[in-house]
Structure 1
Amino acid sequence: MMILVDDGGGAYEKMDHSPWNGCTLADFVMPFFLFIVGVAIALALKRVPRAVDAIRKITIRTLKLIFWGILLQGGYSHAPDDLSYGVDMKHIRWMGILQRIALVYFVVAIIETFTTKLRKTAVLGSGKFAICRCISMAVNDGKRFTVPCGVRGSLGPACNAVGYVDRQIWGINHLYSQPVWIRSKDCTYDSPNAGPLRADAAPWCLAPFEPEGFLSSISAILSGTIGVHYGHVLIHFKLHSERLKHWALMGFALLVCGIILHFTNAIPINKQLYSISYVCFTAGAAGLVLSGFYILIDIWGLRTPFLFLEWIGMNAMLVFVMAAQGIFPAFINGWYYETPNNSLVHWIHKHIFVNVWHSERLGTLLYVIFAEIVFWGVVSGILHKLGIYWKL
């Protein structure tokens, strides 16, 4: 889904991240990933022989994720403007996708390690821990609305506590320099593809903003926590009907909660701020999607049509680095070229897909599906047959 929205979002605006409030297809990627990380943690740590060994493995994996995150999104894998070698440490980006996943994984896994014995008898015990964590995240949201940022309690892009805290911790030079709000109608005349800036555009339109910042990453822990609870249901309940009942009930409850908070304007659904309504809405959707796949694959036995997803999942890190982060296309094109349009990847995109279908949008969508998603599904399947996996 990340490949689809990253490379197809330019042609289909509804796929790309919402400029501010609201939720598009791209906004489901991060919380879905954190949700399934939580499910995996529950399964992996259902038995912890020695806490010391578990903490050591958790810490090492966390550090590896942070290392790869800084390497891929800190600026090391992108060509500087002057095409010189090296990275300007004064402008390196410290936070990013893998760094957020690392933080969520570390906190949730450590909690699971120390609470395993307290929840062995029933899922009810894990539910209590989940409720406690939900309360703590709600308190965090309360702090978010009271941290001073020019206008106390503001949730707008020009002034909000998430951006304020990140500027204080990391410094403005270490934040993401291409915020998605540039596509909003307040900043550009044409929202799709971030057209030219309006003559009356506000100064904040080009201000850096970290979508994977510190405060919002703390809220993101809740997405992983909810996934842990779904994992506990899988472990403790053996009947399909019992698992689906718990999953569907919690999924619908979270979904409705997020919708109510958003449409009453109490707390808008906002990926950039990672608001509590966004957590509830996306986690509820993730729970229902998991339930749907469970019905199709585990109950109805329709595994073959979804094998490519299983293969990609076994080499998720490889596909993320090579495809979603653009390392493989950069390798094919060469790291430096005169213009992005003068490359092999662009030629394939234009002449094999766009020109054949006589549509930029449809050609782009088919290119993403077949030349990227299907391609990496096949590559992952071959690697699976050869027993080759990239694990952290």
Structure 2
Amino acid sequence: MADTKEGMTQEQHHVTIEAPQALQDKGEEVKEVEEKPQNKTKTKRVASLDIFRGLTVALMVLVDDAGGEWPVIGHAPWNGCNLADFVMPFFLFIVGVAIALALKRIPKRLMAIRKVIWRTIKLLFWGLLLQGGYSHAPDKLTYGVDMKRIRWCGILQRIALAYLVVALFEISTRNAQVKDLSHQWFSIFKMYIWHWVLGASVLIIYLAVLYGTRVPDWHFIVHNEDSTLLGKMLTVTCNVRGKLDPPCNAVGYVDRKVLGINHMYQHPAWKRSKACTYSSPHEGPFRDDAPAWCVAPFEPEGILSSISAILSTIIGVHFGHVLIHMKDHSSRLWHWTVMGSALLIFGITLHFTHAIPLNKQLYTLSYVCVTAGAAALVFSAFYVLVDIWKLRYLFLPLEWIGMNAMLVYVMAAADIFAGFINGWYYDNPHNTLVHWIQKHIFIDVWHSTKVGILLYVIFAEILFWAIVAGIFHRLGIYWKL
């Protein structure tokens, strides 16, 4: 998931590539508005937001490619929150901040709406292309997808939904006058009260469906070619209401009814749970007594959970509003850190009191609060280090990634570059350059697959693409949606 800029001014010899700004909204031309006495405006990039975006993209690459060997950083099999579970809400938070900053600069409402709709369409297109199943890179040198089994949802599709809803709402309610709110804590909440009404409405709809829907028994046919149950029809017994366990929650039920079970993600993290395998949290052979749902599909970016995910973007928009309206660093940081800490504490309390568990796949309220609070504190820390203490040079690799996030997302996180490299092999498809580098330069040197893979991802993927993004930045080339 990545972001970039909008409306960058380039010199004539610079090149701007119009492309998916899916990940880029998260980073629109992130600029801070400063008022001048003559009512003229001057814009300045908020470098900390670029760096935060770059960190999030780097984390995505790390957990996707090293999570298999290091499950502690991969997605939690069900309840809980590992490092990988912070990536999606961090992206949505960044999208929210960027919405607040970017849409203020588009004077005409109709023009802003057109931009939002067009960008949403591009996000959906790239999401289907990259995660719908068309490309099987880098491990399988095949492409194409059976339309009977295409995956409709994914990372960019979720970003598209949150972006569309929140951006259109921001456009329709952007009549607030720019005023100094440095010492008025609740004034900014009152100024944007309708945003919180939207957030409350989203939360009510989500909770009502999650706890009020009766989930009936359901069945499915196993399509996994590696399973000994291939072609068999299995039944999952539910007939319950308000359950948050893997087989019988309303999130999965809504997706099965609306999307169709064949259009859902075929390799959910729950397959690594203790109920399914003795190797948990690693992947491994299923237990002999594993329940039927262990081999069933589940959509982690589904419909109901994506509705809840809108809350992460609304919170991000609020932090962008603080950046616009509060003019001094101390007021901004005080507001951000207090609100971030409150969200974090509230979410942790919900989880450990067993009221609402932390669960990324269901996108529960506790998960929204914990991840939004963490995003707020990380952003605040970067703001202090970069925009106040001027230590920007320490984070240049992350800033370069953040300024060209779509490039790194497509090439690294979506495995397009690795798939291209793997297409050139010697003797057999497993003898590729990527495999050779992993084995001989990293794994054999450290005599450890775990350490070797971790170092490969850090240096041969994240650092490599940071350098490439830095070169593109130097040349004025940015991949935008």
Q: Is the 8 A contact 1:48 1:113 kept in 2?
A: no
> Which one of 147, 152, 157 corresponds to residue 213 of structure 2?
147
What is aligned with 1:350?
439
Instruction: Write the deviation string for residues 340-371 of structure 1: whole angstroms up to 9, x where unpaired.
Output: 74321111011101111111111111111100
Alpha-carbon separation, structure 2, partners of 1:357 and 1:239: 49
* Structure 2 residue runs without a partner (length 5+): 1-58, 180-186, 216-238
Structure with max Cα Rg: 2
- 2:468 pairs with one of 353, 369, 379: 379
What is the CA–CA distance in structure 2 between the aligned matches of 1:46 and 1:144, rounded to whole Å? 35
| Match for residue 134 of structure 1 among 176, 194, 199 | 199
Aligned to 1:36: 94
Letter in 2 for 1:94: W
**Distance in 2 between the 1:160 and 1:142 partners?**
13
Query: For residues 141 and 467 of structure 2, what CA distance do their matches in structure 1 show?
Result: 34
CA distance in 1, matches of 2:306, 2:110: 26
**Given that residues 321 and 327 in structure 1 are in contact (C-alpha distance below 8 angstroms), is that contact kept between their aligned partners in structure 2?**
yes
**Equivalent residues of 2:268, 2:297 under 8 A apart:** yes
When the two chains are superposed, the root-mean-square deviation of aligned CA atoms in Å is: 1.9
Question: Partner of 1:268 in structure 2?
Answer: 357
Q: 1:339 deviation in Å? A: 7.1
Between the aligned partners of 2:196 and 2:427, the Cα distance in structure 1 is: 54
Cα distance, 1:79 vs. partner? 6.8
Distance (whole Å) between structure 2 residues aligned to residue 227 and residue 173 of structure 1: 34
Which residue of the partner structure matches residue 124 of structure 1? Answer: 189
Q: Is 2:271–2:283's contact at 8 Å kept on the other side of the alignment? A: yes
User: Which residues of 2 match residues 240-251 of structure 1 at below 5 A?
Assistant: 240-251=329-340
Q: 1:87 to 1:254 in 2, by over 3 A?
A: same
Greater RCO (Cα-Cα under 8 Å, separation 6 or more): 2
1:317-357 deviations in Å (ceiling 9; x for gaps) = 11101100100000001189997743211110111011111
**Shift in Å, 1:87:** 2.0
The aligned length equals: 392
In structure 2, the partner of 1:163 is 252
Separation in structure 1 between the aligned mates of residue 188 and residue 64 of structure 2, nearest angstrom: 37
Per-residue CA deviation, residues 208-241 of structure 1 (Å, 9 max, x unaligned), is 0000001100100000000000000011111110
Partner AA of 1:302 in structure 2: L
Rounded Cα–Cα distance in structure 2 between residues aligned with 1:238 and 1:339:
61
Q: What corresponds to 2:228 in structure 1?
A: none
SS at match of 2:72: helix
Structure 2 SS opposite 1:21: coil
Partner of 1:72: 130
Q: Which residue identity does 1:44 align to in structure 2?
A: A
- The aligned residue for residue 211 of structure 1 is 300
In structure 2, what is the equivalent of residue 256 of structure 1? 345
- Name which of structure 1's ranges 206-215 and 191-200 shifts more when overlaid on structure 2: 191-200
2: CA distance between counterparts of 1:261 and 1:142? Answer: 18
Cα deviation 1:136-182 (Å, max 9, x = unaligned): 23212232111111210010001110000001111000000001000
Would you say 1:315 and 2:404 are equivalent positions?
A: yes
Aligned equivalents of 2:168, 2:383: Cα separation in 1: 28
User: Structure 2 length normalisation: TM-score?
Assistant: 0.79
- Alignment of 1:19 with 2:77, yes or no, is yes
| SS, match of residue 13 in structure 1 | coil
Residue 90 of structure 1 is matched in structure 2 by 148
For 2:445 and 2:121, how far apart are their aligned partners in 1? 46
SS in 2 for 1:390: strand
The question of whether the paired residues in 1 share the 8 Å contact of 2:136 and 2:143 is answered with no
* 2:453 corresponding residue in structure 1: 364
Query: CA 1:113–1:127 in 2, change beyond 3 Å: closer, same or farther?
Result: closer
- 1:291 is matched with which residue: 351, 359, 380? 380
Q: Is the 8 A contact 2:400 2:469 kept in 1?
A: yes
**Aligned residues of 1:43 and 1:235 also touching (Cα < 8 A):** yes
Distance 1:147 1:126, change over 3 A: farther
- Residue 131 of structure 1: how far off its partner (Å): 2.7
Letter in 1 for 2:85: D
| Aligned match of 1:58 | 116
Q: Which has the higher strand share?
A: 2
Alpha-carbon distance in 2 for matches of 1:272, 1:246 = 30
- Aligned to 1:35, the other structure's residue is in SS state helix
Letter in 1 for 2:194: F
State the distance in 2 between where 1:159 and 1:45 align.
41
8 Å Cα contact 1:79-1:335 kept in structure 2 = no
Cα-to-partner distance string for 1:23-81 (whole Å, 9 max, x where unaligned): 00000000000000000000001244211110000000000000000011111112799
1:2 to 43, 46, 60: 60
Gaps of 5+ in 1: none
Counterparts of 1:125 and 1:371, CA distance in 2: 48
Question: What per-residue deviation string (whole Å, max 9, x for no partner) do you get for residues 177-216 of structure 1?
Answer: 0010001111011014311010000000011000000110
1:177 maps to 2:266? yes
1:380 Cα deviation (Å)? 0.0
